């Protein structure tokens, strides 16, 4: 499982039984804002996540009144990246590999997420939930399982049967990965997340062994359907699936109390990083 945890959360990682909110429940337990940022360079998105995670941790250390005044606590970030190869903790420090991939015209970034090498690029919907998993009564394993379910349900809206296997991520027929998952959890706060191939140029994946799995392939919604499926088309479907799995009413960030203020903070981070 592609994860990275710090702090007292380690004991939750050992949990084997999934628990928490009923999956696909029509009953919403609250509002979860989301924001679509368009195309953002990977390093800027990384910096933004660091700032939002720190903000979320700080909120947990304040009073109920202060958290209420802040308005927004948990948040789902949706975006795309320009062509970028990322290295997880398992392959960090391999300078020759980074040099080889940069020559292809893509960025190369080493990260703290779990897993090995993967690719992000235009046409791939990337979701970075910044959540306190205790609010959803989820263990780390069940959180990853819930993310997988958001992808499976999104694919089902297109009559595509996706599934999980012994390998992390979401697959078609056990051989073609349609979405990658890699998360980081710090003091119960999540970052990183999912990458769903919509109309991604899949030839980029030819230059790596995605997630270190030999004899496996990569696919996309567009390839499966035989037509172009843009990230803009998929976002409403994914938000509906996310809200159903996590038991939240998905609402645009600017439409919730404190949302405009947080949007200004996000914009400032992206401009300055």
Number of H-type helices and E-type strands within the chain: 8, 12
Query: Torsion over CA of 219, 220, 223 and 225, rounded to 10 degrees?
Result: 130
**Average of pLDDT values for 20-32?**
59
Q: Which percentage of the chain shows pLDDT scores above 70? A: 84
Please give the pLDDT value at position 262.
96
**Which class would CATH give 31-271?**
alpha beta
How far apart are alpha carbons 182 and 199 in whole angstroms? 20
SS3 assignment, position 38: strand
Taking only the tens place, the pLDDT of each residue in 63-113 is 877 777 777 899 999 999 999 998 865 554 556 777 788 888 899 988 765
Residue carrying structure tokens 């592609």: 2
Please give the pLDDT value at position 13.
46
Please give the pLDDT value at position 24.
46
Q: What is the mean pLDDT of the chain?
A: 87
Among 18-32, 112-126, 150-164, the range scoring the smallest mean pLDDT is 18-32
Among 8-22, 182-196, 206-220, the range of highest mean pLDDT: 182-196
Total-model pTM: 0.88
CA 15 to chain centre: 22
According to DSSP, the residues that pair with 39 across neighbouring strands are 80
SS3 assignment, position 66: helix
pLDDT grade, residue 273 (50/70/90)? confident
pLDDT above 60: residue 17 = no
Please give the pLDDT value at position 15.
44
How far apart are alpha carbons 26 and 161 in whole angstroms? 22
Taking only the tens place, the pLDDT of each residue in 176-211 is 999 999 899 999 999 999 999 999 999 999 988 776
Q: Which residues are catalytic?
A: 211
């Amino acid at each position: 499982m592609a994860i990275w945890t710090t702090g007292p959360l380690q004991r939750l990682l050992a949990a084997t039984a999934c628990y928490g909110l009923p999956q696909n429940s029509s009953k919403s337990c609250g509002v979860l804002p989301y924001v679509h940022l368009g195309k953002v360079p990977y390093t800027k998105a990384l910096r933004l996540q660091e700032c939002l995670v720190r903000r979320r941790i700080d909120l947990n250390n304040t009073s109920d009144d202060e958290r209420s005044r802040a308005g927004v606590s948990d948040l789902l970030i949706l975006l795309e990246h320009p062509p970028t190869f990322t290295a997880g903790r398992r392959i960090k420090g391999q300078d020759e590999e980074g040099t080889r991939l940069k020559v292809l015209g893509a960025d190369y970034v080493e990260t703290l997420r779990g897993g090995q090498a993967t690719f992000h690029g235009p046409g791939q919907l990337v979701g970075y939930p910044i959540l306190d998993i205790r609010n959803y009564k989820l263990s780390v394993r069940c959180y990853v399982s819930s993310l997988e379910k958001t992808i499976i349900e999104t694919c089902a809206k297109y009559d595509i049967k996706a599934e999980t296997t012994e390998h992390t991520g979401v697959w078609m027929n056990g051989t073609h990965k349609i979405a990658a998952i890699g998360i980081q959890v710090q003091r119960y706060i999540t970052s990183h997340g999912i990458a769903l191939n919509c109309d991604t140029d899949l030839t980029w994946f030819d230059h790596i062994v995605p997630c270190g799995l030999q004899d496996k392939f990569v696919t996309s919604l567009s390839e499966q359907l035989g037509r172009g499926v843009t990230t803009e088309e998929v976002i409403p479907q994914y938000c509906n699936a996310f809200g159903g799995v996590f038991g939240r009413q998905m609402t645009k960030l600017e439409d919730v109390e404190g949302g405009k203020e947080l949007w200004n903070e996000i914009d400032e981070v992206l401009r300055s990083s």
